[in-house]
Amino acid sequence: MSTETYRVELDREACDGIFACLVRDERFVEDDTGLATVDPTADGVVDVDQTESRVVATFDGDIEDAELAARACPPNAITVREGSE
């Protein structure tokens, strides 16, 4: 299990509100527009920067859940990159 810091990007223009991500990583949540975003108060969320079209978040803890969420997303709206750059 990895405990590194890593970057998660969510392309809200690609997001279709299917919410396959939410059941795989509880740091992803539905916002009031019906699209996915990241809960800044969730465990393992260091930082969230959100615009209408994009969410860029820094997570720490186990990278597996975020990678599972990214793989489960049908339009590939989630990108997980190791490191915080």
Binding residues for ligand SF4, rule: CB under 6 A, are 10, 15-21, 28, 36, 73, 75, 77-78
User: What minimum distance in Å lies between the beta carbon of 37 and ligand SF4?
Assistant: 9
Q: How many helices (H) and strands (E) does the chain have?
A: 1, 6
Can you tell me the distance from the alpha carbon of 33 to that of 16, in angstroms, rounded to the nearest whole number? 11
Which among 55, 76, 61 has a CA at the least distance from the CA of 25? 61
User: What minimum distance in Å lies between the beta carbon of 70 and ligand SF4?
Assistant: 8
User: What minimum distance in Å lies between the beta carbon of 40 and ligand SF4?
Assistant: 17
Token pair listed for 1: 């299990």
**Residue 24 or residue 61: which is nearer to ligand SF4 going by CB?**
24
